[in-house]
Structure 1
Amino acid sequence: MTVPVLNLSPGDAPFTESPAKSYTMPARFYFDPAIYELEKSAIFYRSWWYAGHKSQLASPGCFVTTKVHDQNVFVVRARDGELKGFYNVCQHRGHELLSGSGRTNVITCPYHAWAYDFEGTLRSARHTDRIKGFKACDFALKPVRVEEMCGLVFVNLDMDATPFAEQATGLEAEIRRYCPAVDDMVFAQRDTYDVASNWKVLIDNFLECYHCHTAHKDFVDLVDMESYRSRTCGIYSSHCSGAARTTQSSAYVFEKGDVDFGYAGWFVWPNLTIWIYPGEPNISTLQMIPDGPDRTIEHQDWFIPTPTPSAQLRDAMVYQKDVLQPEDIALCESVQKGLKSRGYNQGRFVVDEELSELSEHAVHHFQKLVVEALGADLDPASASAAAAAPAGTGA
């Protein structure tokens, strides 16, 4: 069924294949409730979703829970060492089985005590031995896909989804280049932010440094902006710079680590960003979780060599939490207000031939993924070409 808000509307300029020629997505894509609802099934129920870290699943029985919109799932370390993922719901009357994260010997429903093993098999259900024809095998937990990359654990509700590694070819190698000790990282802390902005505004903001000189003076002092480049590839994009301008920046003070660089970041479709700061080994994730058309919950998880950060890593974490995040949140909340203005609908991507640190081509890459996932028709030229193409050929 066609959703009218997805089509080119009067007053819309085209969203095209070329970022240098394209206008941005129309403003309604950031606040229309119909689009927000469509995103659930078209994007999130079929994409790889960050669920946690292997250090939180260190031994059999360790589990983490996460919600993909309204779909509650959990990942558990099975007795054979494998990671298993399931919908977090008892097959008796629908009560949620687990909450938060932790460790258990058996997965027991708090409602009627139906119990499951780590393979999702129903092992105990009181009084069901008196039910004729009752078969425990008919009430196993429903599985979800699970994959791990650099210690990060992902789930996918689509059992037929293309493997994460195939969709993000090259990402793991890039992360290991900037953090060779990534396999030794452990969970340290989670910082949470409630932002009055659509999730896509936050992603757009991450994907360009056109705003960095005006909005992030400490970040610009930390990062060598002349070497900062954004590169797009499949379902991810990288945003990295060369050697830091100084180890005594106004952001924080550090000593050079295993790799000499100023900053490395990645966007992973649909709603995850990965950060590595210079200095001692570290990696963090910042996940943008939609909480309505105009609101997003952000979780930033930090992974470092030990659960307790060193003084240098603590300074980096404080800078992120107390300086950079508030700067970005203020920008994005203002953009969300502006997108509803009757005086705005679309802008242009600022893209240069060199794809410099100021270029917004990675924003176009993300918005193109959104447009394609939703099946939106925003380019009359491509639609005309498709209509004119002979039968049996592609446009």
Structure 2
Amino acid sequence: MNETTPVTIPRIDPAAELAATVAVPFERASAMPTSVYTSKAFLALEEERVFAKSWVCAGRAESLDGPGAYMTTEIAGEPIIVLRDAKGALRAMSNVCRHRMSTLLEGRGTARVITCPYHAWTYSLDGSLRGAPAMELNGSFCKENSGLPAIRCVDWKGWIMLTLDPDLAEPSEVYAEWDALVGYLDMASYRETFREEHRWNTNWKILAENFMESYHLPVCHAGTIGGATKLREMVCPEGFANFNFHHILKADSVPLALAHPSNTVLQGDDRRRTWLLAMYPSLMITLTPGYFWYLSLRPDGPDHVKILYGGGLSPDFLSDPEAEAHLLSLKTLLDAVNAEDKGCTEKVWKGMQSRFAKPGALSHLERPNYEFAQWLSRMVQAG
């Protein structure tokens, strides 16, 4: 009987592949290896070492507009409630009952108390336990020690930022360079006019990278904003430790991207400059003199991404008598842009399943993608 030698298939280590990819200088850089997108093991590393140790955006602070207004979200699988307490202060806490561990609230709404749907334990808006029926005969029960654990929550320039990491520096420190770069647009004064949730059939990083580069605009967005983009005028400078950026000078064909005619503060190119800012890991902000829009991303398996999608107007356009028309125009445009991005990014995910899928060289217009890959590699290696 002939003995056969078993075939050994080399084990792929996505983190090691990524580290090797980002070790080369940008002038010779290529896209991230496919394993970084398709591996379930790498996604588990991202949840543990990226999302659980970063600031993650739950939307705009003005969307919670009074005491008891709440929303629910998750970070790295951890259910979280974000709300305004009885005094209107912004808080976040665990969305898991301290009794038999049912989740408490769903979606968005307004509540005077938080009541568990399983055994009716109730919590005040500060997370303290308010009532626990039929617990008086259990000598180990302590009402004072049964409140909902607090989650760190910060209003940073109008964004609700959450983290599970008790030691992470404040957003003002993590994103310290923001003010000098784009502080002149006073993002906190803009107001959200719409907020939606979507789920696409692509990896979260594919969508993040799609936002980070405008190389795709003339083709992917040929039906919307592509014609207003001039690649030769695009600037992709080096980013910072915790976010990257680039900017585009928009033509007059997109009036909402320009400074309002009544604005006498902005001058020159600043009246038509659009900023695209990727706040690691997953808050993508487009900021213009007239409007903003954003994507806040959560992985949902390697093959899907949950998207919080919202946007709004600057104070100048909100106070314009034609504000309603501006809102309709903005939402119509952004929905069309999003539909184009969905088609493009889902095609990339489908292509990654091919046996012939191999990362290609990066354009000089894809520097932000390279910097994001470097940051991601540092985070997953940090342990």
Match of 1:211 among 216, 219, 225: 216
Aligned twin of 1:18: 25
Checking the alignment, whether the CA contact within 8 Å between 1:190 and 1:300 is kept in structure 2 is: yes
Specify whether residues 124 and 253 from structure 1 end up closer, same or farther in structure 2 by C-alpha distance, changes over 3 A only: closer
1:314 aligns with 2:328: yes
1:337 aligns with 2:345: no
Aligned twin of 1:371: 377
> Residue by residue, what CA displacement relative to the aligned partner does 1:157-185 show, whole Å, maximum 9, x if unpaired?
1112221111111225545423x4x4444
How many residue pairs get aligned? The number is 357
> Residue by residue, what CA displacement relative to the aligned partner does 1:87-122 show, whole Å, maximum 9, x if unpaired?
111101111111222222222212212111222211
Aligned twin of 2:171: 164
How far 1:13 sits from its partner (Å)? 6.5
CA distance in 2, matches of 1:224, 1:25: 26
Aligned twin of 1:295: 304
1:126 aligns with 2:133: yes
Amino acid at match of 2:295: L
Amino acid at match of 2:296: Q
Match of 1:34 among 41, 44, 69: 41
Equivalent residue runs for 1:1-395 within 5 Å:
5-6=13-14, 8=16, 14-16=21-23, 18-172=25-179, 174-178=181-185, 180=186, 182-217=187-222, 218-223=224-229, 225-231=231-237, 232-242=239-249, 244-246=250-252, 249=253, 256-257=259-260, 258=263, 259=266, 260-279=271-290, 282-304=291-313, 310-322=324-336, 324-351=337-364, 359-375=365-381
Aligned twin of 1:354: none
CA distance in 2, matches of 1:320, 1:300: 10
CA distance in 1, matches of 2:116, 2:157: 32
CA distance in 2, matches of 1:21, 1:39: 26
SS at the partner of 2:236? strand
SS at the partner of 2:334? helix
How far 1:199 sits from its partner (Å)? 0.7
SS at the partner of 1:29? helix
How far 1:44 sits from its partner (Å)? 1.0
Specify whether residues 350 and 225 from structure 1 end up closer, same or farther in structure 2 by C-alpha distance, changes over 3 A only: closer
> Residue by residue, what CA displacement relative to the aligned partner does 1:254-296 show, whole Å, maximum 9, x if unpaired?
77423412422211111111123454xx322212221111111
SS at the partner of 2:47? helix
CA distance in 1, matches of 2:36, 2:272: 36
Moved more, 264-273 or 211-220: 211-220
| Structure 1: 5+ residue stretches without partners | 352-358, 378-395
Amino acid at match of 1:318: T
SS at the partner of 1:166? helix
Amino acid at match of 1:94: M
Give the share of equivalent positions with the same residue, in percent: 26
SS at the partner of 1:328? helix
Checking the alignment, whether the CA contact within 8 Å between 1:64 and 1:100 is kept in structure 2 is: yes
How far 1:367 sits from its partner (Å)? 0.9
Amino acid at match of 1:219: I
Q: CA RMSD in A?
A: 2.7
CA distance in 2, matches of 1:109, 1:175: 43
Structure 1 length normalisation: TM-score?
0.82
Aligned twin of 2:4: none
Checking the alignment, whether the CA contact within 8 Å between 2:15 and 2:42 is kept in structure 1 is: no
CA distance in 1, matches of 2:243, 2:367: 13
SS at the partner of 2:26? coil
Checking the alignment, whether the CA contact within 8 Å between 1:224 and 1:262 is kept in structure 2 is: no
Checking the alignment, whether the CA contact within 8 Å between 1:64 and 1:101 is kept in structure 2 is: yes
Structure 2 length normalisation: TM-score?
0.84
Checking the alignment, whether the CA contact within 8 Å between 2:251 and 2:272 is kept in structure 1 is: no
Moved more, 120-129 or 211-220: 211-220
CA distance in 1, matches of 2:41, 2:56: 22
Amino acid at match of 1:316: L
SS at the partner of 2:28? coil
| Structure 2: 5+ residue stretches without partners | 1-10
Aligned twin of 2:5: none
Checking the alignment, whether the CA contact within 8 Å between 1:252 and 1:316 is kept in structure 2 is: no
